[in-house]
Amino acid sequence: MDPLDVLTNLEKVIPYYQAIFSADEQRVVGYEVLGRIQVNHDVESLGSFFHDENIPDEYRIEVDDYILHKALNEFIDLNDTEILLFINRDANLLMLDHGESFLEALLEKKENGLNLNQLVLEITEHNFRGDMEQLYHLLTYYRTYGIKIAIDNIGKSSSNLDRIGLLSPDILKIDLHPLRLTSPLQSYYDVLYSISLLARKIGATLLYEDVEVNFQLQYAWKNGGRYYQGYFLDKPKREFTQRDASKVRLKHEFQRFISTEKKKLENLYNFTEQFHKRIHQSLLNHDKQNDNYELLLNQLSGDLDDCCFRIYICDEDGFQQSVNIFKKDKWIVQPEYYMKNWSWRPYFLANIIKMRFEKKGFLSDVYSDIETGELIRTFSYPLNHNHYLFVDLSYEYLFEEEGLL
């Protein structure tokens, strides 16, 4: 659409609202404002207009302000003190006047009954080209008025976690569109996991957007999402969606997710118990007190040939007390790993302490093996008061066992 067609038909520009749902209440917690324009009998998105940097800044700002004015008036009329209104702003345009005109528009509406504590400013971090320190100070200033900050489109393009951490947003919006690909790369899941850890560290709420099918909602629910948005839940509308419109449906979906996850956790618990007994019985058949750990590992590799590809022993400080026994086409000895230290690995020492006090083995989460690149789990088992056995379970074995991947 020609930019001039938009500017000369401002009276046809209207705000649409896409509902955002919460996991804890299974109801609408907010609405995102989206720009639309009426063309004949159709309504078209203005997304391409706002994202086209070839369009003069003042054109995009004028249309943005027009939509904002309408949306704020309608939000005030809604008169719901518990709901949030998400407002998109291009950070580059926002900083042209250091955010003054945007704040003035909000303060003007405050005199008409707008509660600034109900507003969420959405910006996209990865396309901001200005001084990040200045943007940080502006957002910090906005917060003094009660305005919340959301970082948008995380996961869609490259995002700098350091910059996001500096901005300390209240909400991180994670794009789930890549999950619709036939086989998303494992690195995508790893990035989402890193973002979820960052959110926890800075106290931000996770909002998963572009939820278009059921399994995306399940992924979001399972991976720390408190808020959800997307066509699977509700399409953008001219009016505000009733807050409880999808409550029964969401409650039903979450109940299915809960049942599935409980069953998976029960399977993991049962597997851990059975594998602990298997290791225990295997060790009873061999002399685990023998100082010759290479002999012990060779014996264990025969007992565990169907499920693992690497076995080794460490002390409680993470220093390897044995060689690696590693399976390629056959089991081989890797003496170069003797006395390597693994205490730098996340949770290593915490897991050692857990085994010391509980005196039983346990199964790790799924993770990518550094050397093979495959998804694996590690079963850890206390041999004695100071030495611990580690058994790396292969992807093929995990794939065959229900609920282990």
Q: What is the pLDDT of residues 254-307, one digit of tens each?
A: 999 999 999 999 999 999 999 999 999 999 887 655 568 999 999 999 999 999
Domain boundary among 189, 217, 232: 232
153 and 38 in a single domain? The answer is: yes
Over residues 41-64, mean pLDDT: 94
Contacts of 329 (CB under 8 A, 6+ apart): none
> What pLDDT shows up at residue 156?
60
221 and 279 in a single domain? The answer is: no
Answer with the residue of higher pLDDT: 97 or 2: 97
173 domain residue, yes or no:
yes
C-alpha to C-alpha distance for 175 and 24, rounded to whole angstroms: 20
Over residues 216-238, mean pLDDT: 95
182 and 93 in a single domain? The answer is: yes
Percent of the chain with pLDDT over 90: 78
Pairing of strands 308-315, 225-228: unpaired
Answer with the residue of higher pLDDT: 125 or 200: 200
Question: Where residue 365 sits, what CATH number does that domain have?
Answer: 3.30.450.20
102 and 179 in a single domain? The answer is: yes
> What pLDDT shows up at residue 290?
58
C-alpha to C-alpha distance for 385 and 12, rounded to whole angstroms: 75
Residue 300 contacts residue 311 (beta carbons within 8 Å)? yes
Number of compact structural domains in the chain: 2
Over residues 116-140, mean pLDDT: 93
> What pLDDT shows up at residue 195?
87
C-alpha to C-alpha distance for 301 and 313, rounded to whole angstroms: 13
pLDDT at 155 over 70: no
405 domain residue, yes or no:
no
256 domain residue, yes or no:
no
> What pLDDT shows up at residue 352?
94
> What pLDDT shows up at residue 280?
93
Answer with the residue of higher pLDDT: 158 or 82: 82
195 and 315 in a single domain? The answer is: no
84 domain residue, yes or no:
yes
C-alpha to C-alpha distance for 384 and 314, rounded to whole angstroms: 11
Average pLDDT, the chain: 92
Q: Categorize the per-residue pLDDT at 183 as very low, low, confident or very high, splitting at 50, 70 and 90.
A: low
> What pLDDT shows up at residue 287?
67
pLDDT at 194 over 70: yes
Domain boundary among 232, 253, 279: 232
Percent of the chain with pLDDT over 70: 96
User: H/E/C letters for each residue in 126-178?
Assistant: CCCCCCHHHHHHHHHHHHCCCCEEEEEEECCECCCHHHHHHHCCCEEEEECHH
C-alpha to C-alpha distance for 58 and 76, rounded to whole angstroms: 27
* Segment among 166-180, 186-200, 216-230, 250-264 with least mean pLDDT: 186-200
245 domain residue, yes or no:
no
140 domain residue, yes or no:
yes
241 domain residue, yes or no:
no
State the CB neighbour count (10 A cutoff) for residue 31: 28
C-alpha to C-alpha distance for 350 and 309, rounded to whole angstroms: 24
C-alpha to C-alpha distance for 32 and 153, rounded to whole angstroms: 14
Q: Categorize the per-residue pLDDT at 165 as very low, low, confident or very high, splitting at 50, 70 and 90.
A: confident
**Whole-number Cα distances in Å, 237 to 33, 34, 81, 272, 328:** 10, 9, 21, 49, 57
* Structural domain of 299: 261-400
321 and 358 in a single domain? The answer is: yes
Over residues 102-112, mean pLDDT: 96
7 domain residue, yes or no:
yes
Contacts of 97 (CB under 8 A, 6+ apart): none
Question: Where residue 24 sits, what CATH number does that domain have?
Answer: 3.20.20.450
